[in-house]
Amino acid sequence: MADDPQTRFEQDRAIDPTGEDPRPAGTAVGGPTPRDSASLIDPRLDSPAREGLTGTARAGVYEPTREPEDVTIAPDHRPMDEQPRWRQDFAIDWPEDHFVARRDFAKFLVLTSGAFVAGQAWIAAKSLLRDRRPPPGRKRIASLAAVPPGSATMFAYPGEHDPCLLIRLRDGKLLAYSQKCTHLSCAVVPKIDQGILHCPCHEGVFELATGRNIAGPPPRPLPVIELEVAGDDVYAIGVLERTT
């Protein structure tokens, strides 16, 4: 068998199966003989040292292979020799760059997650402080004579920077709401004839009779100012904030 790997190996190593030295007489003087070097290898076919040499597997199969993605590839997929000089000098490992960029993005997301928890903690702390705050007191805001039916007037309650609207409907009923739109705190405008409170900033609309948000971006109804009428005077006695 001319192409037998075992035969080829033995010929390359000058191993005579009969045990005879195949070289001419006298050539063995000085230096190791091929038989000496061949004797370092176990002649059995199944010996571990002969893996890759006997034709059962090519020698390169045991070399570590490189992942295709481990090879740096330029964005235009041309070989590095054809790339401009600046890219050859400052070659970027794009697959590694993608891996690191996404890992850094994950870090940024976790940082954002921490910021949201800080925001929740801030709301909780403000909630504790609000619970300890005393309720707003009773305050005279207008006289009935100053608010004829079908009109509205402004007042500040509970603080001087909390603008509110006192509205008297045509049937004489009194209503009061905070004037700050629940969207972005623009001042709402009462339109008594249309039965609405209109926010001109982003076209938010509240129902006049209840203060509920009925159109536009406002997420909550207007806070209701609780009223008390004593004689000819109108008093504000509390603020009722609502979610629905």
Residues 66 and 73: their CA atoms lie apart, in Å, by 14
**Residue whose CB is less far from another protein, 146 or 240:** 240
Least Cβ distance, residue 91 to another protein (angstroms): 16
Return residues touching another protein (CB under 8 A): 67, 69-70, 95-96, 98-99, 102-103, 105-107, 109-110, 112-114, 116-117, 119-121, 123-124, 126-127, 130-131, 182, 219-220, 240-244
**Residue whose CB is less far from another protein, 18 or 243:** 243
Least Cβ distance, residue 223 to another protein (angstroms): 8
CA 239 and chain centroid, separation: 39
Least Cβ distance, residue 105 to another protein (angstroms): 6
Least Cβ distance, residue 66 to another protein (angstroms): 10
CA dist 215 to 47, 218, 244, Å? 86, 8, 14
**Residue whose CB is less far from another protein, 129 or 145:** 129
Residues 149 and 137: their CA atoms lie apart, in Å, by 27
**Residue whose CB is less far from another protein, 114 or 148:** 114
**Residue whose CB is less far from another protein, 67 or 193:** 67
CA dist 162 to 76, 153, 179, 185, Å? 62, 14, 8, 11
CA neighbours within 13 Å on the CB side: how many for 154? 11
Residues 150 and 127: their CA atoms lie apart, in Å, by 38
Least Cβ distance, residue 151 to another protein (angstroms): 29
